[in-house]
């Protein structure tokens, strides 16, 4: 089985504040996207990484990859992305050569995922799961809220049992044919790829995630990411 990784990196990252597209912001001097590409290419099983660039930024991303040291045994391809994450992932899937039958989808916004997490996801797909997500238990209790009446605070409508909830990370791993079918079948907006496979009626399985696979979303996350890198002495 050959494994490729698709890294959607076409988001604007507005929640991080003004500036460059999120994937191009630097952590300790190196763009977040380069950290993410290295994190996936660190797995010996991954022989192709497809980076989905901002629609008008494919040239810039290609130059960026050329300018940084990356493993020789891995191929790198850059394609332009779309208006939604889903569209960007689909464009990345379209660029995969036929010989890849396992696909990882990894957010550029999770630049510090450890290689053991990547390998754990691949292993579970190799063992036969059509879709695999790395996930962690939650520290916070989660409430579902209803719509607020004008001028009123939001009402809580439900409290799911915390012990049964998981915060889901990436890379998510897929049997390629299953993920392609999911993208052809599901048209409504989703926030992760595995939920599209759930909608096909297939079982998605969970493997252990990692604290360092957190998503860089808000300004405080940049501080945390640089602290993690400093601890690793990169
Ligand atoms: O916005 P969010 O943090 O959920 O984005 C997750 C990932 O999807 C990021 O790596 C972002 O660059 C990517 N994305 C994309 N194309 C879009 C929107 C987001 O590739 N149109």
Taking the centre of ligand 1 as the mean of its atom positions, its distance from the CA of residue 160, in whole angstroms, is: 27
Taking the centre of ligand 1 as the mean of its atom positions, its distance from the CA of residue 24, in whole angstroms, is: 12
Dist CA 95 CA 77 (whole Å): 8
pLDDT given for residue 19 in this prediction: 77
Q: Nearest C-alpha to atom 11 of ligand 1 is from which residue?
A: 11
- Which whole-number Å values give the CA distances from 228 to 6, 28, 210, 221, in the listed order? 24, 10, 13, 10
Tally of domains in the chain? 1
Chain segment 186-228, per-residue pLDDT in tens: 988 899 999 999 999 999 999 999 999 999 999 999 999 999 9
**Which structural domain range is residue 120 located in?**
2-135+167-232
Planar angle of CA 4, 98, 45, nearest 5 degrees: 25
Tell me if 90 is assigned to some domain: yes
Long-range pairs, 188-192, Cβ under 8 A, ≥24: 189/84, 189/86, 190/86, 191/85, 192/133, 192/168
Taking the centre of ligand 1 as the mean of its atom positions, its distance from the CA of residue 45, in whole angstroms, is: 24
Q: Nearest C-alpha to atom 2 of ligand 1 is from which residue?
A: 11
Chain segment 130-155, per-residue pLDDT in tens: 999 999 999 999 999 999 999 999 99
For residue 191, which atom of ligand 1 is closest to its CA?
Answer: 4
CATH number at residue 16: 3.90.550.10
Instruction: Tell me what ipTM this predicted complex has.
Output: 0.93
For residue 89, which atom of ligand 1 is closest to its CA?
Answer: 20
Q: Nearest C-alpha to atom 21 of ligand 1 is from which residue?
A: 84
Tell me if 62 is assigned to some domain: yes
Tell me if 151 is assigned to some domain: no
Tell me if 198 is assigned to some domain: yes
């Amino acid at each position: 089985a050959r494994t490729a990784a698709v890294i959607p990196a076409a988001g604007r990252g507005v929640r991080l504040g003004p500036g460059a597209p999120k994937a191009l912001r630097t952590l300790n001097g190196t763009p977040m996207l380069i950290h993410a590409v290295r994190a996936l290419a660190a797995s010996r099983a991954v022989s192709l990484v497809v980076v989905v660039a901002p629609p008008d930024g494919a040239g810039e991303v290609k130059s960026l990859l050329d300018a940084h040291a990356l493993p020789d045994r891995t191929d790198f391809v850059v394609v332009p992305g779309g208006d939604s994450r889903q569209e960007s992932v689909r464009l990345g899937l379209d660029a995969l050569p036929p010989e890849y039958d396992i696909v990882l989808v990894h957010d550029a916004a999770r630049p510090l995922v450890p290689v053991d997490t990547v390998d754990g996801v691949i292993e579970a797909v190799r063992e036969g799961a059509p879709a695999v997500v790395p996930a962690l238990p939650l520290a916070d209790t989660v409430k579902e809220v209803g719509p607020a009446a004008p001028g009123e605070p939001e009402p809580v409508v439900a409290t799911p049992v915390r012990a049964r909830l998981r915060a889901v990370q990436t890379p998510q791993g897929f049997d390629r044919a299953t993920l392609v079918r999911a993208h052809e079948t599901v048209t409504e907006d989703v926030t992760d790829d595995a939920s599209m496979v759930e909608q096909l009626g297939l079982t998605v399985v969970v493997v252990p995630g990692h604290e360092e696979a957190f998503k860089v979303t808000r300004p405080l996350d940049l501080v945390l990411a640089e602290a993690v890198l400093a601890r690793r002495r990169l």
